[in-house]
Amino acid sequence: SDNKSLTKYINVRFGNVINSSGSVIPLFVEQINLYNKIFVRNKETTRYFMTISEAVYLILKASQSKLNFSKLILDMGKPIKILDLAIKIIYILGKKQKFQKTGSGVEIEIEQLKPGEKIHEELTTSKKLKYIGKKLIHVEEKRTFKNNEIFKIKKTIEKDVYKLSEKYFKELYSIINRN
């Protein structure tokens, strides 16, 4: 029998998805509303950002790709300095930035990086990047897998997908039965 799998494994690399649950933007808005203060890890911290529609585009393109064991990233332009973003959010909300301890306005408090956090986000270390669509980049990295590694990866993914589908099925069931 042929051990070839029909399953494709593609790694997609996201930036911060604007206004998603993990985005810093709603977090900053919440901090302003609760504390009249924004907490920034480091003055030099930068991150890449993408819209929800760009994230969907990346996933759809990855699912349609004929590539296997590949990494896809979106061209998100230059990284944005988080401190600059915090300042812009203050002004977008119609508030002023506090510059002195005794002044009024929204204070920006600079904190320490958490363990494992990086000042600058690195989407890839590979220098072999190839555009394969609108803003879509294939990262050419040589990686070979042994059959047992592929089997382990596939089993892990199947287990994770089952857990997720079971969780969402229960949530959907409870929503339907509320009526």
Characterize the bridge pairing of strands 37-40 and 70-74.
Answer: unpaired
Per-residue pLDDT of the chain (179 residues; tens, 9 = 90+): 455 566 667 778 788 888 888 889 999 999 999 999 999 999 999 998 988 888 888 888 877 777 766 777 778 888 999 999 999 999 999 999 998 877 889 999 999 999 998 999 877 766 777 766 667 666 766 555 556 666 676 677 777 777 777 776 677 667 666 65
Would you state the pLDDT for residue 111? 92
Collapse the DSSP code of 99 into the 3-class scheme (helix H, G, I; strand E, B; otherwise coil) and give the result.
Answer: coil
Counting Cα atoms < 13 Å in the Cβ hemisphere of 154 gives 13
- Dihedral angle, C-alpha 100, 118, 71, 85, nearest 10 °: 0
Would you state the pLDDT for residue 173? 67
DSSP label of 37: E
Would you state the pLDDT for residue 47? 92
Neighbours of 154 (CB within 10 A): 13
Q: Hunting for tokens 């593609």 — which residue is that?
A: 10
Would you state the pLDDT for residue 1? 42
Would you state the pLDDT for residue 123? 75
Would you state the pLDDT for residue 10? 74
